């Protein structure tokens, strides 16, 4: 089974390989990430993942297209990827000692069918010192991560607890994805079938 992943995220490719997907085409979708003011976090990730999937499907008809978008949400605020070290530091200070939600919108388009879902995981950070934040930002790990941290990396040192799907926090909720693929008639045998190939 071949999957066209409408994302440049190496983490999403790695997660797909971890569940046996051998044939992955990565085709990042160049779309606007703006959402209307007042859009809820769940609606925002659903809208963005659908936008990416639609753009990729238009360029690659006939492929099974998978798109995802992940955001970190605090009450009244959405955290995407930081644009600078200063913004990364500010995001981490806002997460320190608090719970936040990690939301991923997933959209699959295959032929005439389309399926969308949103997964939410609640993560709690321990309290962080200014020195810890500064040292972490200096590693550059936060710079391409929603919420300015990687739970699968150094950022794991800050995570006090997690409620929900761990893989969702990495960037792709695998359990939810498996259930969605089943609705397309794609199970383990189909996922793991085919040559080992990753095309950039």
| pLDDT single digits (tens) 67-99 | 999 999 999 888 989 999 999 999 999 999 999
The pLDDT of residue 89: 98
Secondary structure class of 155 (helix, strand, coil): helix
Predicted confidence (pLDDT) per residue in 129-143, tens digit: 999 999 999 999 999
CB atoms within 10 A of CB 48: 25
| Contact in structure between 33 and 189 (CB atoms under 8 Å) | no
Structure tokens given for 135: 């040292």
Query: CA nearest 68: which of 155, 173, 147, 149?
Result: 173
Which pLDDT does position 93 carry in this prediction?
98
Percent of the chain with pLDDT strictly greater than 90: 76
Nearest to 198 by CA among 13, 60, 68: 13
pLDDT in tens, 169-185: 999 999 999 999 999 99
**What average pLDDT does the segment 111-115 reach?**
94
69 is an active site residue = yes
Q: Is the pLDDT of residue 158 over 90?
A: yes
Mean pLDDT of 1-26: 91
> pTM for this one?
0.90
Which one is catalytic: 69, 130, 138, 193?
Answer: 69
Confidence band, pLDDT 50/70/90 cuts, at residue 39? confident
Query: Domain 2-199 is in which class?
Result: alpha beta
């Amino acid at each position: 089974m071949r999957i066209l992943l409408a994302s440049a995220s190496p983490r999403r490719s790695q997660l797909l390989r971890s569940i046996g997907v051998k044939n992955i085409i990565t085709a990042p979708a160049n779309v606007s990430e703006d959402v209307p003011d007042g859009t809820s976090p769940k609606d925002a990730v659903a809208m963005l993942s659908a936008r990416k999937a639609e753009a990729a499907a238009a360029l690659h008809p006939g492929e099974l297209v998978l798109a995802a978008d992940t955001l970190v949400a605090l009450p009244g605020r959405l955290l995407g990827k930081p644009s600078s070290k200063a913004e990364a530091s500010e995001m981490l200070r806002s997460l320190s000692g608090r719970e936040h939600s990690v939301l991923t919108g997933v959209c699959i388009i295959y032929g005439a069918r389309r399926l969308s879902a949103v997964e939410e995981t609640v993560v709690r950070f321990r309290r962080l010192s200014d020195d810890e934040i500064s040292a972490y930002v200096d590693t550059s790990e936060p710079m391409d991560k929603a919420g300015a941290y990687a739970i699968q990396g150094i950022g794991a040192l800050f995570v006090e607890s997690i409620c929900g799907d761990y893989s969702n926090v990495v960037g792709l909720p695998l359990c939810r994805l498996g259930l969605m693929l089943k609705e397309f008639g794609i199970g383990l045998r189909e996922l793991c079938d085919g040559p080992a190939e990753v095309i950039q």
